[in-house]
Structure 1
Amino acid sequence: MARALWKGAISFGLVHIPVELHTAVRPDELTLTMLDRRDFSPVGYRRYNKRTGEEVTWDDIVKGYEYEDDQYVVLTDEDLRRANVAATQTIEIQSFAAAEEIPLTYYEQAYYLSPTRGGARVYALLRETLRKSGKVGVATVVIRTRQHLCALACLEDAIVLHTLRYPAEILGTDELDLPSARAGELKPKELAMALELVDGMAEPWRPQQYHDSYRDDLMALIDKKVKAGKTHAITMPERETRAPGASNVVDLVELLQRSLRGRDGGKREKSGSGASGKRKDERAADSLRKSASARKSSTPSNTSGTRKTASTRTAGATSGARRA
């Protein structure tokens, strides 16, 4: 069973639902190791005492708040809990609102909530209430050392907690140079064709068809470097060349017409991108592992360790692609 990040309860009115908090997303990123360019050895993170310079083990590390210069108040996890026991153990629903009323800029991080012992029935009651009403529960919760604004929403059989940004964290658009919506700036024909293009490209939301194609290209570049024996080659930036000057006059009607003519071909190409992209990613990883293994058997012993570390980390990072 997945490890819980937080344990407590959802509370609204007199209803109390014991729950656990679980991460709902897994970033799909390529893991890169920091290397010393002089001998390409891995560079680690060192925990050290800034006064003595000596290394500090995890067992000797505590947290502190600096209330004056170089003066600290030590705070343990128990101190953080005792500051407000109810706030640290309860997702307190303050109100209910329509999901579309919350701007996208407020949404931050998603988590799954699952019921703990004795909470299944009332968990299901809240979930179905959210589903039938079409609303989200606006709540507050303390996670680690910060109180978050959050929204509880129904997603299939789960209740999802979305942490929200506070209004003070959202920057306004006053300082941006944005075009106005005054009548006459856009031609009716342009708008009509743009709406036609949107209508023609509309389709059901199928996230499985989207794939990180940049990752494929990056893995192909890594594979190329391994096969060419250039694993330690430092690629320097090329001199930038100025693009020929372009006219500021844009014929939107012509661009929209060309887009409308080519939309069917684009749809056909996109429909196969998910599966083919995944297969491409897997082939790249397999090729990389084989290349690294072949080079390892043919290289001197004093460099095999370095090559093994690089290939193993890269292959490990690739094998996690598309797990989410």
Structure 2
Amino acid sequence: MTSGWTDLTNELACYLQKEALEIVLLLPAMDTIEANPAAQYCAQQYNCLLPLGQLRLLEVILHLPSSISPADIEAVRTAAITSALVWQKSCLSQNEDDQTDCYYALILDIQLNSDDIDVNANNVDNSSHQGVVSQRLSHHFSARYFKENLVLLDASDSVQQLQIFSWQDWHSILTTVQTPCELWRFLGYQLKHLKPQQLEHSIISHPSDFNSEQALLTQFMDSDFLFTQAIMVDNALIKYGMQDKPNSALVTMKLAQKNNSTAVQIYHQHMQQASTLWSQLSTQMIDLVGEKFTTSDEEQSTASQYSHWQQQLRDESLFSRHELN
């Protein structure tokens, strides 16, 4: 699911409620280039029920001719965002009675036909679509972008905002946070920064806080949000007499972050290594058990249990994976 493979991409597939849905978008900006066979798009919706809530992803891949002008690229990009907002509004209307916490995210992937393009350019990455080699255009959404284009977004606190990412930023997020729990928490962290007052604060008072998605991601990894779940579990274990005192590793990591210790990066590295190992071991176990399952009617009743068991393996946070390994 979603272009580009990471361990977390593989894990998210365990939470899919149904197969990806093809979505038809209204992209009037494509009319100016529709005669060119390189101008195409595809859009897919993914619904994932994560441990902490519902994640609805819309991945839009724009295939554009390499000769397209920057102004036309921006016009198509804006049209894709506008159309995604219509998609989100439709989802909200269809699920207005659903009380489950939900995040809506758009992943926008812009790919240029490789004809006449400089493959050594710094702002493109190799990609492929149905056997046609193309180049992935590097683009990003900063705080200033949202501030200047806030008219596209519903900024009220009462309406769930659409979170927008380039392919590059989304791939970086998945590679960094590594677990479904951390992905959910990061989306909540980012959403706080999209509120109008926070945007104003980020741009005027602390312009470096959200100049890029990578800056916000780094800020998140250095924040207490990373240990939110671990702290809750640790407190519960003490409260119910299952543990005498706070977890020493958790206390050490929290203090290191609070004091901006140089050891923070080492702890992050250890957690990420443990997470990778946990993903690999889980995948091996799931594949081994999966070989015993068939599509026969008598075993369909156990399919949901099998799916739930897979999710339980994936539910562990970065910190708990570190402890379990």
TM-score normalized with structure 2 length = 0.31
- Select the structure of larger CA radius of gyration: 1
Between Structure 1 and Structure 2, which shows a larger proportion of strand residues?
1
TM-score normalized with structure 1 length = 0.31
Between Structure 1 and Structure 2, which shows a larger proportion of helix residues?
2
